[in-house]
């Protein structure tokens, strides 16, 4: 299992690096799909089947499609000209290194790494638990409805911006 995890983690990281370094926009979108798919596999390995499938439906099936549409519909030239890095790259590299260091410092005090998760009971049904949490008034009813409102806001905003030029 650990070996599988390492392979997938490397695939995710490598394809993420390819997304930002490749010059061809469609290649970047395809590498992004590989990376997202790797995350879905990680969810599946963690017994989070629902999250794995939702990752595929929403991220690969909808968001990445939107990227591909955007690339295909707006750009005449698929290859970017000019260097992908500008001269200030070292500042951002330093910043991300510092952030990573800070996170690593914080996490080094956390003892969660050395613990193994408890096994699920055999009749555990994550999806039913999730559904219950969504409709239980003491838990996530309000976020569930707020999510709906948020979606409507996104919908209205997107359509308003997109059709403004007419």
**Site of interaction with other proteins (CB under 8 A):** 26, 30, 33, 41, 44-45, 47, 49-50, 52-54, 56-58, 60-63, 65-66, 68-70, 72-76, 78, 120, 125-128, 130-132, 134-137, 141, 144-145, 147-149, 151-152, 154-156, 158-160, 162-163
**Minimum Å distance from CB 44 to other proteins?**
4
**Minimum Å distance from CB 108 to other proteins?**
29
Contact between 29 and 67 under an 8 Å Cβ cutoff? The reply is: yes
Contact between 83 and 20 under an 8 Å Cβ cutoff? The reply is: no
**Minimum Å distance from CB 61 to other proteins?**
3
| CA dist., res. 66 & res. 29, Å (int) | 10
Q: Which residues pair with 24 in a beta bridge?
A: 79
3-state SS class at 111? helix
| CA dist., res. 145 & res. 149, Å (int) | 7
Q: Decide whether 11 or 68 has the Cβ nearer to other proteins.
A: 68
- Give the torsion sign (CA, 153, 55, 37, 102): positive
**Minimum Å distance from CB 5 to other proteins?**
13
Q: Decide whether 88 or 116 has the Cβ nearer to other proteins.
A: 116
């Amino acid at each position: 299992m650990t070996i599988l995890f390492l392979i997938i983690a490397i695939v995710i990281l490598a394809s993420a690096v390819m997304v930002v370094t490749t010059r061809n926009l469609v290649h970047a979108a395809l590498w992004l799909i590989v990376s997202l798919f790797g995350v879905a596999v990680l969810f599946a390995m963690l017994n989070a089947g629902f999250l794995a499938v939702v990752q595929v439906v929403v991220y690969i099936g909808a968001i990445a499609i939107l990227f591909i549409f955007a690339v295909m519909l707006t750009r005449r030239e698929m290859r970017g000209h000019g260097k992908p890095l500008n001269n200030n790259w070292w500042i951002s590299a330093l910043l991300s290194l510092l952030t990573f260091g800070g996170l690593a410092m914080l996490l080094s005090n956390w003892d969660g790494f050395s613990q193994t998760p408890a096994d699920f009971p055999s009749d555990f049904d994550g999806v039913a638990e999730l559904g219950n949490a969504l409709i239980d008034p003491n838990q996530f009813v309000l976020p569930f409805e707020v999510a709906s409102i948020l979606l409507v806001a996104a919908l209205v905003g997107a359509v308003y911006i997109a059709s403004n030029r007419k």
